[in-house]
Chains A and B, each alone.
Chain A
Amino acid sequence: MITLKADNITKNYFKKSALDGMSIQLEQGRVVGLLGPNGSGKTTFLKLATGLVRPTSGSITICGREIGYMSKELVALLPDSEFLYDWMTIKDAGSTYAAFFKDFNTKRYSELIDFMKLSFDMKFKSLSKGMKEKLALALTLSRDARLIILDEPLNGVDPVAREQILGAIVKCFNQESTILITSHLINEVESILDEAYFLKEGKIVLHGFTDALRSERNKSLDELYREVFAC
């Protein structure tokens, strides 16, 4: 079943083109990487998929639904920046998600908070960057969403926290959903990706299943990334 279908998407910011005729199709039960350097259009695409920005042309559907407030019920987003209020405790953040997202799994949230070695009475304001990232990930992965979008989940976190984050992603993944991840840290995410799209200047320049890409070219995904995006 197709979770996300983007057809010939273009997004312009005034004269600057962020995405240029991008087409992508994500199937259920896969962990997909959207890989590319800064400014390649990754975050723009993720925002388009979540309805935070609108395409200049082209169409996107989530499980057959046009992007709108209804599609937001199907998509869980982990943004690349802080999005919670300073006054929130970890418990408040969970309660807020539980109130607004029907698919929020409170039991899983508790398990993930324990797994991440956080506690419910901690205030968002007092958390370190790594802890904030873990909390945001716990909130996102606690939703039984059809499409889970993780924008740079490993950015700015130490190697131990990275392992915990990747562990949590693997732990929470189920065959009913699709996970779309962007990351610069190809080495770190390579092991969990089933499929990868390489995005350069708003266009898909390489796409394939990770096993096939590695075997066909006899290179790791990281080496391929360096080859594709070498200046």
Chain B
Amino acid sequence: MLGKLTKFELVKKWKSSKFLLLGYVLIQAVILFVLRVFIWNDEISRGFNLDGVSVSAGGSVSASFGDSVSAGNGVSASFVLLTVLFFMLSLVIGAYPFVESIYRYERDLSGRQAYLELMIPAVGWKKVLSKLIATMVSLVICGTLSVFSMFMYFTINSNFRYVMDLIRYLGELIVKEGPEVALMILFMLFGFASTYMTIFFCISVAKSFTHKNTVAVPIGIFVFILILSLLGLITTRLSGFPIVNYNIGTISFTLSSTLLDIAVFFATLAGTSWLMEKKIEH
């Protein structure tokens, strides 16, 4: 059932977002085309060139840019405007899953389709987990799209050789520090999943009181702030009991805070499932 629910959630997301995603790709492609064909010149290219890319023994990449961009030589106002627009759209698409998932979750609990959602004979945690998985998939897709857009921007506006050099260095870094990079990505994704789960929990608490958004939204925000404050307090107390300290890349972690993060994730998942099954009415 979890597979079927996840597929349904993914289809819902695709159906509601496909035109936005396709529109985004089209607009970004047009901006890049205009930049390259009508505005781009050698000065801009030189400005983006990486004067030096190096990989240190620790694996960190360092790069320095040319002088042209900082000097502003040959960079027209239209180039700056289109660049700002391009990056703003990239940020919007990167943040889109966050807004969409909150809206979709709220609608699933109290919108007109709530009849269908709540009538599906599946245990609460499967419904919640399927929504979380679909949200994470959408986050990865939109995040990748956003990063890829930026990569295309640099590829098109700078010297292709330098971009290839950077890719090669990053590739080498991933090969060299593979497990550490994978662990970093895993930690980052878990952090996002845990944040979404906390938000879902707050929405569910609010919806178990009322479906009226004028009341439910403040309740949800209040619960969210309360949870964050509580977690902040517990984290501060736990810093005195690290159990084990460890590093991933340049970031330090303690086992106690990692265990707390895992506990919070499962507690919010269980709480949200319980609320969906026992408290939320339609």
Q: How far is the CB of A78 from chain B (nearest CB, A)?
A: 9
CA of A203 to CA of B4 in the docked complex: distance in angstroms?
A: 41
Q: Mark A28-47, 1 if CB is under 8 A from B, else 0.
A: 00000000000000000001
Judged by DSSP, the binding face of B is helix
**Residue from A53, A54, A72 within 8 A of B119 (CB atoms):** A72
Does B237 sit at the interface, judged by CB under 8 A?
no
- Name the interface residues of B1-41: CB closer than 8 Å to any CB of A: 1, 4, 7-8, 12, 15-16
Whether, in the assembled complex, B281 has its beta carbon less than 8 Å from a beta carbon of chain A, the answer is yes
Q: Are B282 and A47 in contact (CB under 8 A)?
A: yes
Q: Which of A73, A84, A100, A101 has the most CB of B within 10 A?
A: A100
Is A60 in the interface zone, CB < 8 Å from B?
no
Which A61-109 residues have C-beta < 8 A from chain B? 68-70, 72-73, 77, 79, 81-85, 87, 96, 99-101
Contact between B115 and A77, CB atoms less than 8 A apart: yes
Report the count of interface residues on B (CB-CB < 8 A).
Answer: 23
Q: Determine whether the beta carbon of B8 is less than 8 Å from that of A52.
A: no
Q: Is the CB of A84 within 8 A of B113?
A: yes
Inter-chain contacts of B124 with A (CB < 8 A): 69
Contacts of A81 in B (CB 8 A): 112, 115
A87 to B17, CA, bound (A): 11
B116 near A83: Cβ-Cβ < 8 Å: yes
**Residues of chain A with a CB closer than 8 A to B118's CB:** 51-52
Question: Inside 8 A of B119's CB, which chain A residues have their CB?
Answer: 50, 52, 72, 77
> With contacts A47-B282, A53-B282, A85-B15 known, is A72 near B121, CB below 8 A?
yes
B120 at interface by CB-CB < 8 Å:
yes
Alpha-carbon separation in the docked complex, A38 to B255 (Å)? 59
Q: Does B123 sit within 8 A of A, measured CB to CB?
A: yes
Cross-interface CB contact of A53 among B1, B8, B122, B281, cutoff 8 Å: B281
B177 contacts partner chain A, Cβ-Cβ < 8 Å = no
Check if B277 is an interface residue, CB within 8 A of chain A.
Answer: yes
Q: List chain B positions with a Cβ less than 8 A from chain A.
A: 1, 4, 7-8, 12, 15-16, 112-116, 118-124, 277-278, 281-282
The 7 closest A-B pairs by CB, nearest first: A72-B121, A83-B115, A87-B15, A53-B281, A73-B121, A79-B115, A52-B282
| 24 A-B pairs in the complex with CB atoms less than 8 angstroms apart | A52-B115, A52-B118, A53-B281, A53-B282, A69-B121, A69-B122, A69-B124, A69-B277, A72-B119, A72-B120, A73-B121, A83-B113, A83-B114, A84-B113, A84-B116, A85-B12, A85-B113, A87-B15, A96-B8, A99-B4, A99-B8, A100-B8, A100-B120, A100-B121
